[in-house]
Structures are given as structure tokens and as C-alpha cells.
Amino acid sequence: MKVVGITTQQEVYIGSKDRNFRINEFLIITDSYQGDLMGEVVEAEAYNKYIPLSMHGELADSSVIESLKAIGYNVEEDTIYIAKVRLLNEALYPVEAGSDVRIPEFDEVKDLMIRSSVDEGLVLGVIKSTDQMAKGMDEEYKDLLYTFEDGQLKSQNEIPYIYNIKSMHQYPHVGVFGGSGSGKSFGLRVVLEELMNLNIPTIVLDPHFEMDFSEIEDYMPKDKAVIYDDKFKCLQVGFHVGVKFQDLSTQDIKNLLDASSPLTDAMNNVVDILFKRNDSYNSFHNRLKMLVEAQEEGSLDRISRRIEESNSNLEREGWQKRKELYLNYDKICPYSSVRGILWRLNRLNNEGIFSKDIKEIEEGLHMGKLIVIQGSTRILQVFSTYLVNNLYHKRREYKDALYKKVTADYFPPFIVVTDEAHNFAPKGYDCPSKSILKEISQEGRKYGVFLILATQRPTLLDETITAQLNTKFIFRTVRGSDIQTIKEETDITEEEARRLPYLKTGDVFVSESAMGRTIFARIRAANTTSPHTENPFDELKNKTEEDDNKFLEIIKDKLPINGDDFINVIKEIESETGLTYPLDLFEEKLNDLVDKGMIEKQKTPFFNVYR
Amino acid sequence: MYSIDDGLKENIKHINKILMNKYKDVLSLDREFSKKYIQENVGPIVKLNKFTMDELFNFTKSGGILGIDGSKNRMGGAYPHFIEIYQGLAKSTLYKDKAIYKTDFYTPLYLENEGVNLLENTVEKEEQIRSKKLSSIEVEAALEGIREFNPYAVMMDGSLIRYDIECFDKWMELRRECEERGIILVGVIKDIKTSIIGDLFMNDTSLQIEECFYDRELLYGLLEYGEIIRIQSEVTKKSEEGFASLFMRSSNAPSVIGMDILDSQKDHLEEMARLVFTLTPKDSRGVPLWLDIVDSEVKIPDKMIRGLLESYLDRSILEMFFISERDKRTM
Ligand SMILES: Nc1ncnc2c1ncn2[C@@H]1O[C@H](COP(=O)(O)OP(=O)(O)OP(=O)(O)O)[C@@H](O)[C@H]1O
Ligand SMILES: [Mg+2]
């Protein structure tokens, strides 16, 4: 390997007759005047000046190359390999052409590649094209992980990529970008596993119900399995966790109501007027409901008539109350807006959001757990706004109190993680979850609150937030506009940007402000698996099989079943299992089992017998 | 957009008219007719097959193929302040790393060996010397090549006749040695400049063709891929005596190439044609890949020549003699 051609202080070409180069490989140039210069391969090509191109620029027919080989000349041996190498640090003078080039030893690249100890960082994967240097690596960096490539588990033979989580203090927040199927969610899973290893309090917003860590990945060797059961908790909004209505401020309630689609000015006004401090859900709801009912009567006269015509005291008091509301608010709270608020409130309530609180989440964070909040995107938008605001301010109060030297309850630093982040912080329009995420992106560093935001569409993510993401993991990206955004928002080079559409699933460029250059890595094999990575078609098949087996189980000890005796069998089943089968469904299911060869059907002169 | 002078446009249109007019007779000749005429008067048209791999291995066993080519680079300005550098190469398919290079140079400023006087030197004479130098080093390379590699055949880039004319003595030495040792000597001509068929056409009064056309014009698009015309010895000109030749369409491109061989070896001409056909990429312009490779090995980039001169000539010499005013501007 030698430096060839014209060189500059930043870039050189290296040629070799027998060694192919790999992109992102590190090489050391021994310049006789300037000493050792370290560089990274940014482009690699194999070149054969004799393998001709046809007049149309295609490769010429291979039969000619074969023929030439037959008369003794192997053109392929004339292939030379050329690498464009960018120096990590600009040289003082252009590099001496003809300088020798060698592969660095581990110690020479250690500081460039390893930025954190194994115990204190996130061991996320391997740095690609480092296998040769990895040979001389200290034991502590070996055998930390597996990768999963081409359907196989592979042991680690490259230098590990360890994300220095402590650097977040200076360079906060992480973005995870990549197109569909590029490995974002998988990468996020690995990040979360590592956060659990370090017991870092974390909130995960999980609209896909995929961030469960109780299933061990099949490919993991049994003795290497890591159990995360007591390190995380999956909580569903409305079922395990919710909002405590009494704690809500007017702003909170507006945020909640506003989260799915923006409130009109009139609606905002209605909340300002009708929501009272210390309202319970019921008191607020009743106030709205009665006002609406009064407004539906249409006039004071008709409400008065209702009062007169009331049959009971209770009813009369009710209408009395409605009249009062009507008198106080009808003018300033238009009917349609009041109705709109009531409708939204009902909907939130039906989703169970007001039936629980966030105590379990807070406790989890205090214990250094990873809390996965699950729910539909819409409900998560609503709930996360409230939740993140709440937790962030607790942490902030604590830190501010410390600063002012007054006492306050301890609240730990924490990380907020979300997939589909563009739904929570969209570019171009406002939504409540965006304001809090924006605030954290700008100020969170001071309080030890950090974001990890993943999205398929960086272009749709709020640009103020994007600009605050100091570390970016960039997986395969095909869409031109997203590549453009990525180029603007990271320090990836032109050459790297050109490779983005072709990255393998799970391969990633890591652009860290802390590093000042991009690392090309492969995310390690996750220890756990998402509960529904099952192929949807396998899922269908499994589901029917499961159903069939269940049904067979139920009827097994009823066999043989006579065709004229269905009624009695169904009754028996009903009393034993509580399951009721309509007659024709029952027969259909039996025939289905016959078709599948699970039971037999015999025809008799009078009826069929199933056995 | 460039603005193009109207006068220039008119001139180009005019050229087109002249050429169309001149060639209309040829262009209007019926293809089948031409082919038949050629079959009857020039020689049979035959379709060739490519060699099989086994057949090709026989070439390897009998010594491989020696490819010969030359190159020249010129540096400097107008006469006599220039230098021309010649390089000849002999490269065997069997000995990858042992190519034989020969070099020579020419400058009107130094003619001692040429035995002429600078002042009475004529343009023709000068031209002759230069061609001779290039041909000679190619033949020298070939000579050393056959001695060193003992090939089955020598494939020269260009017509054999050229060497006969340009450097007779050296050529005879090569020719004799090849004939004695049974080494086939063959020339492959990319740009045929003959008018064998053209002359026949013109002299045939029944055809009413008044001008002499070149063979490359007449044969354009006429042959099928892999077809050759075996030129009968009666039709070749006096100057071409002692050689047998053929035309061949060796690729999809409609143009043809020529090949020639010593009369004493003419039984091998078709064998060599098949070899050339086999080694020519279908989508190329018709030159066998092997000669393309030799060609690119022998060529020296102008930049490199310049580098050499700059490194090894004194600056004053360089500037005084070999750097044209135009070059100085870019230096
Ligand atoms: N580092 C990796 N090693 C091995 N397999 C991986 C890796 N990353 C992703 N995969 C596999 O590739 C598939 C797609 O990955 P993933 O679900 O993470 O894509 P995604 O980027 O989240 O896509 P989407 O945007 O559609 O959600 C998954 O089946 C996963 O198992
Ligand atoms: Mg995903």
C-alpha cells in the first residue's frame, strides 16, 4: 500500500496491487517528513484498466476475457485497488506521494474509537472495518456482544462501539433516524437494554406496543441470556396509569383536550371560564353537561317551564342549577364550543385516562427502572404531555431548590425515549407535547433530563429540536428530502450521504458532536425480542391452529358425537366452560376439524357420527 | 448557448452536400449486388467461427501470442524545436511481468546519426526518418521478443507492409527469423487505408463509378459479424506483393479491420483471423483486446514525458529548445 497520485493536506489516494480496501477503514501513512498520519478510507474502488467497457459503457463480453485467459493472460490480475483517504487531522504539508501505508495497531486508534469504559457506557455494537486492529485489543473489550448478520449470530471480532452516556451532560440528546425497516426500533431496543443495565431512569413512549423486554431472543445462547424482568415495567394508559384530575391546572386540562387536534379560541375560553380550581372530573363534567342541556332548551322561558313542570325536588333542583349556569355563561360560552369541550372530555374519560394516576411511574423512576408507556399514538400524545411536563417540573423544582439551598423532595434525572417522534414534535404546527419536548431539548441538559427521539421522517421533526440532538444515529435512508435534512443537521460527509440508501439493516452512521466525526457501526444483536416480530401470516396460521386445538380440547372427551345430539353436547360444554356455540357454528367447526384430519366423520343412515 | 457564425453553418451544409453527392453512387449500390461483385472479383466471403477454449489452450501450449505496438510523444514547438520520443513494446500472453521495451528519440537539432545536414533537410526526408525510427523500435522489440519468449505467433499493431517500406533492413531480419523458426507473423490493421475494391469498381466501366473510393467506405456495414473477405492474390497491388491479406468485420461495429501475413505463411491467415475474432469484444470497435492491452501499456502520458524532460534536462536547455510559447503560458 502506497500513497499515489496528487495529494493534498486533507486527502490522499492510496493504491495497492493485492489488498482491497474497505470503506471506513483506518490507515496510517508514514510520511517521511511529517511522521505518521492517520486517515480513514472514504471511498474504495477496484480498477482494472484492461477490462474494457463496450462502446455503450457496459462491461465487455466476458467470453473475450475468458479466451484471453485461455491463451495465458489473466486480465483480472491487473486489478488495482484504490482508496480515497481523508486525514483525521489536516497535515501541515501535502502528504508525500509514495509514502508507505500500514494498518494501525489497536493502541494507536484506541482513543479515537473507545470513548467510555465498558461499565459506564452503552455497548451498542461494533465499529465496522476494525477487525484487524481489534486483534491487539485489551481483553476487557473482547467478547462483549454478538452481532446478528445474514441470519446468523456472529461473535465479536471488531472494536466495540460504546456510546459515552456521560457525554450527554455536555452534548445532550440523541436522534435515531432511518427509513422503514432500517433497524431503528431494533437499535432503540438495544439502547434501552443498555440503559436498563445501567439502571438509568427512563420513560419510553411506545405507540407500537413493541418495547417489551420479557422475551429472550431465540438466537441468543441460553447461558448468555440477560433477564430484564425486574428492570422495566410496561404500563398502559387508562389501564395502569392515568391522570389525577384534581392535580390538573387549567393549562394541563387545555393541553389534554388540545392534544389530538387544536382547541379553538372559543373553546379555550370555555375552559378558562368553566374549569375551577379543585374541580373533580365529575364536577367539571357536570357543569359542562348541565350548561349544554340548558342551552339545548334554547331560552330562559323554556328552562323556567322545566322547573315548574318538575315532578320531584331533585329534578327541580337540577333545572334550577341549569338555569343559573345558563344565566351566568350562555352569553360568553357559545353552545358549539361547550359541546366540543364536553365531547372531548367524554372521550378522554372513556379511554380511562382519569381513572388512574402516575404514581407507579414515579416510583419506577426512583428505582432506576425503565418505564414503558403504551397506548395509541393519540392517547400517548395526550398523556405524555401531562406526564413529561409533570416529571420534568418535579426534577426542575428539585434542582432549583438545591441551587437555592432549600429543601425539596428528591427526583432523579431521567431520559425520555420515543419512536415516531415526529408525531410528538411535528414541524410546522404547534401541539402541547411539542412544547414540553422543545423545552427539554433546550434546557433539559441543566436538569439532567435527556431525549432520545427516533423517527422515520427527520424532515417532519421540529427543526429546533433536531438542532439540539447532539448525537445522531442514521440508519438506511432512501428519501431524498430526508437525506438532505440529515446532511444539514449532521457532520456526515458527501460520500457518506451517498451511501445512506444502501446501508444494510442494522448498520448505522453515528454522528456525535462529542467526536467531531462520524463512526460507521453495526448495532449488536438484541438480547430480547419484541412481542410481535412474528410475521403476520405466521401469526394468522398460529392463531387458527391455536383455536383448533382449543376446540379439540373442549370436545375431546365428548367424542364420539352423534349428529342428532348436538344440542345436548353444546349444553354440556356451556355448563362446563361457559362457552356457547350456536348450532350451525358448532357443526361447521366439527367439519373443519374433519377437513384438517383431526377427527373423523362417519356417515350412518340417520346421522353423521364424529369420532 | 454558443452563438454560431452563420457562415460556418453554411460551410458545413455545403460540405454535407458535396459528400452526399460524391457518395451517392456508392450509397445507392445495392448491398447484395456489392457482395456478389466482391465474391466474384475480390475473393470469397466466408463466415468464421470463434475458437473453443480447448483450441485456445493449444496456443498457450505452443508458446502464446506476442503482441507488438509502438507509441510516440512529441514535446516542444515548431520545427526544429521539438523532440519526439518513441517507445516499442513486445508483450507475451504467457509472461505477464517480462515485457520488452525499446525506446528512441528524434529531434531535428541532433542529426549526427541520421547522416543528414540540418539545413538541407527536407520535410519528406524528415518524415521518413521519424517513421523509420518508430517502425524500427517496434521491429527491434519484436525481435527481442521472439528470442526471449519463443511465441507461437507475433501480432503486430498495423500492417506488415509498413515495416517493409519504412525499415527494410530490420524488417528483413525479423521476417527471416520468423520464417526459419516457424513463428507466424501477422499484422492487424485497425484503420485500413487501401482501395483494392475501390480501384476495381472504378475500373469497371459497367459500373459507371468515376471516383476511387476507399475500401473502408465501401465495406462499411457490408459484412456480417464474423465474416471475412479472402483477398485473392491477383487483385493485390504490386507494392503488396509478398503478403496475403483479408478484411474482417470482427465486432458489432459496422466497420471492418484488415489483416496481413507473409505469403509463405498464408495458410495460417484464417487461423489468425479466427484468433483475432475470438479475442475481440462483440461491442467494441473491432480491435482484439490483447492488442488494446499492449497499446495501453506502451502509451506514455504526455504529462509523464514532460515530467521526465523537466527532471533530466537542464532548465535552460528545456526552455530554450523544447517549451513552446504556448506551453509556457501553462507552466
Ligand atoms: N442490528 C440488527 N441486527 C439484526 N437484525 C436487525 C438489526 N436491526 C434490525 N434488524 C431486523 O430488521 C427488521 C427491521 O428492523 P426494525 O423493526 O428495527 O425497523 P425500523 O427501522 O424500526 O422500521 P419501521 O420504521 O418500519 O418501524 C427487524 O425484523 C429486525 O429484527
Ligand atoms: Mg420501527
The CATH class of the A172-242+356-523 domain is alpha beta
pLDDT in the model for residue A450: 97
Produce one character per residue of A250-260: b if its CB has 16 or more CB atoms within 10 Å, e if not: eebbbbbbbbe
Which atom, in ligand 1's list, is nearest to the CA of A147?
A: 3
**Mean pLDDT throughout A432-436?**
88
Contacts of A54 in chain B (CB under 8 A): 281-284
**Residues A325-342: pLDDT tens digits?**
999 999 899 999 999 999
pLDDT in the model for residue A540: 64
- Determine the residue among B92, B279, B304 to mutate to test chain A binding: the one whose Cβ has the most chain A Cβ atoms within 10 Å: B279
> Are A77 and B96 inside 8 Å of each other by CB?
yes
Bridge partners of A472, per DSSP, are A175, A511
- Assess whether pLDDT exceeds 70 at residue B30: yes
- Determine the residue among A51, A65, A67 to mutate to test chain B binding: the one whose Cβ has the most chain B Cβ atoms within 10 Å: A67
Residue A152 Cβ contacting ligand 1 at under 6 Å: no
What is the bridge-based pairing of β-strands A561-562 and A608-610? antiparallel
Residue A506 Cβ contacting ligand 1 at under 6 Å: yes
Residue A535 Cβ contacting ligand 1 at under 6 Å: no
Cα(A160)–Cα(A523) distance, integer angstroms: 10
- Assess whether pLDDT exceeds 60 at residue A54: no
- The model scores a pTM over 0.80: no
Ligand nearest to the CA of A186: 1
pLDDT in the model for residue A611: 81
Q: Any idea what DSSP says for residue A608?
A: E
Q: Tell me whether residue A78 is exposed, middle or buried, using C-beta atoms within 10 angstroms of its C-beta: 0 to 12, 13 to 18, 19 or more.
A: middle
pLDDT in the model for residue A561: 83
What percentage of chain A carries pLDDT values higher than 70?
Answer: 96
pLDDT in the model for residue B331: 44
Question: What is the distance, to the nearest Å, from the Cα of residue A355 to the centroid of all Cα atoms in its chain?
Answer: 27
Q: Is B12 on the interface with A (CB under 8 A)?
A: no
**Mean pLDDT throughout A203-217?**
91
Which atom, in ligand 1's list, is nearest to the CA of A149?
A: 4
* Residue A183 CA to ligand 1 centre (angstroms): 3
Q: Are A351 and A256 in contact (CB under 8 A)?
A: no
Residue whose CA lies nearest to ligand 1 atom number 10: A183
**Mean pLDDT throughout A175-195?**
95
pLDDT in the model for residue B223: 92
Closest CA to A473 of A495, A494, A500: A500
**Mean pLDDT throughout A234-240?**
88
Query: Where does CATH 3.40.50.300 sit in chain A?
Result: 172-242+356-523
Residue A185 Cβ contacting ligand 1 at under 6 Å: yes
Cα(A339)–Cα(A320) distance, integer angstroms: 20
Closest CA to A560 of A589, A605, A601: A601
Closest CA in chain A for residue B60: A71
pLDDT in the model for residue A233: 93
- Assess whether pLDDT exceeds 70 at residue A64: yes
> Are B296 and A55 inside 8 Å of each other by CB?
no
What percentage of chain B carries pLDDT values higher than 90?
Answer: 47
Q: Any idea what DSSP says for residue A216?
A: B
Q: Are B231 and B243 in contact (CB under 8 A)?
A: no
Quick one: which H or E segment has residue B157?
strand B153-157
- Assess whether pLDDT exceeds 80 at residue B110: no
Listed range (A419-428, A542-551, B39-48, B195-204) with the worst mean pLDDT: A542-551
* Residue A361 CA to ligand 2 centre (angstroms): 24
Cα(A538)–Cα(B297) distance, integer angstroms: 60
Q: Please enumerate residues of A whose Cβ is less than 8 A from a Cβ of B.
A: 49-50, 52, 54-56, 58, 60-61, 63-68, 70-75, 77
Contacts of A61 in chain B (CB under 8 A): 281-283
* Residue A185 CA to ligand 2 centre (angstroms): 4
**Residues B214-261: pLDDT tens digits?**
888 889 889 999 999 999 887 777 667 789 999 999 998 899 999 999
Q: Which three cell numbers stand for residue A420?
A: 415516531
- Assess whether pLDDT exceeds 70 at residue A120: yes
Residue whose CA lies nearest to ligand 1 atom number 31: A186
Residue A528 Cβ contacting ligand 1 at under 6 Å: no
* Residue A154 CA to ligand 1 centre (angstroms): 17
pLDDT in the model for residue B218: 87
**Mean pLDDT throughout A268-296?**
91
Question: What pLDDT band is residue B1 in, cutting at 50, 70 and 90?
Answer: very low
pLDDT in the model for residue A144: 93
**Mean pLDDT throughout A79-105?**
89
pLDDT in the model for residue B316: 83
Which residues in chain B (281-300) have CB-CB distances under 8 A to chain A? Answer: 281-285, 289-290, 292-293, 296
Residue whose CA lies nearest to ligand 1 atom number 26: A180
- Assess whether pLDDT exceeds 90 at residue A553: no
Question: What pLDDT band is residue A272 in, cutting at 50, 70 and 90?
Answer: very high
ipTM of the complex: 0.76
Cα(A480)–Cα(A547) distance, integer angstroms: 46
Q: Is B64 on the interface with A (CB under 8 A)?
A: yes
Contacts of B279 in chain A (CB under 8 A): 64, 67-68, 71
* Residue B194 CA to ligand 1 centre (angstroms): 68
State the nearest Cα–Cα gap between B297 and chain A, in angstroms.
10
Start-to-end C-alpha separation, chain A: 78
Q: What is the mean pLDDT of chain A?
A: 88
For a ligand 1 pocket test, name from A145, A152, A176, A186 the mutation site with the most ligand atoms within 8 angstroms of its C-beta: A186
Q: Which three cell numbers stand for residue A207?
A: 405507540
Cα(B292)–Cα(A162) distance, integer angstroms: 52
Residue A261 one-letter amino acid: S
For a ligand 1 pocket test, name from A191, A479, A505 the mutation site with the most ligand atoms within 8 angstroms of its C-beta: A505
State the nearest Cα–Cα gap between B56 and chain A, in angstroms.
6
Residue A511 Cβ contacting ligand 1 at under 6 Å: no
Closest CA to A189 of A537, A438, A473, A440: A473
> Are B57 and A65 inside 8 Å of each other by CB?
no
- Assess whether pLDDT exceeds 70 at residue B118: no
pLDDT in the model for residue B322: 73
Question: What pLDDT band is residue A460 in, cutting at 50, 70 and 90?
Answer: very high
- Assess whether pLDDT exceeds 80 at residue B207: no
Residue for cell digits 486527502?
A: A11
pLDDT in the model for residue A414: 96
Q: Tell me whether residue A539 is exposed, middle or buried, using C-beta atoms within 10 angstroms of its C-beta: 0 to 12, 13 to 18, 19 or more.
A: exposed
Contacts of A97 in chain B (CB under 8 A): none
Cα(B142)–Cα(B102) distance, integer angstroms: 10
Q: Which range scores top for mean pLDDT: A2-11, A179-188, A596-605?
A: A179-188
pLDDT in the model for residue A231: 94
What is the bridge-based pairing of β-strands A507-512 and A232-236? unpaired
Bridge partners of B157, per DSSP, are B188
Residue whose CA lies nearest to ligand 1 atom number 19: A181
Q: What is the mean pLDDT of chain B?
A: 86
**Residues A488-503: pLDDT tens digits?**
888 888 888 999 999 9
> Are A64 and B53 inside 8 Å of each other by CB?
no
Listed range (A171-175, A222-226, A487-491, B49-53) with the worst mean pLDDT: A222-226
* Residue A465 CA to ligand 1 centre (angstroms): 25
**Mean pLDDT throughout A411-434?**
91
> Are A65 and B59 inside 8 Å of each other by CB?
no
Just give the CATH number of A536-610: 1.10.10
Residue A232 one-letter amino acid: F
- Assess whether pLDDT exceeds 60 at residue A437: yes
Residue whose CA lies nearest to ligand 1 atom number 1: A506
Domains of chain B and CATH, by start: 30-300 (3.30.2170)
Closest CA in chain A for residue B94: A72
Residue A178 Cβ contacting ligand 1 at under 6 Å: yes
Residue A125 Cβ contacting ligand 1 at under 6 Å: no
Residue for cell digits 466497420?
A: B255
Ligand nearest to the CA of A148: 1
pLDDT in the model for residue A59: 54
**Mean pLDDT throughout B159-167?**
92
Q: Is B328 on the interface with A (CB under 8 A)?
A: no
Query: Where does CATH 1.10.10 sit in chain A?
Result: 536-610
- Assess whether pLDDT exceeds 80 at residue A48: no
> Are A61 and B290 inside 8 Å of each other by CB?
no
Question: What pLDDT band is residue A260 in, cutting at 50, 70 and 90?
Answer: low
Q: Are A112 and A133 in contact (CB under 8 A)?
A: no
Question: What pLDDT band is residue A220 in, cutting at 50, 70 and 90?
Answer: confident
Q: Is B57 on the interface with A (CB under 8 A)?
A: yes
pLDDT in the model for residue B2: 56
Phi, psi (degrees; rounded to nearest 5) at B121: -70, 130
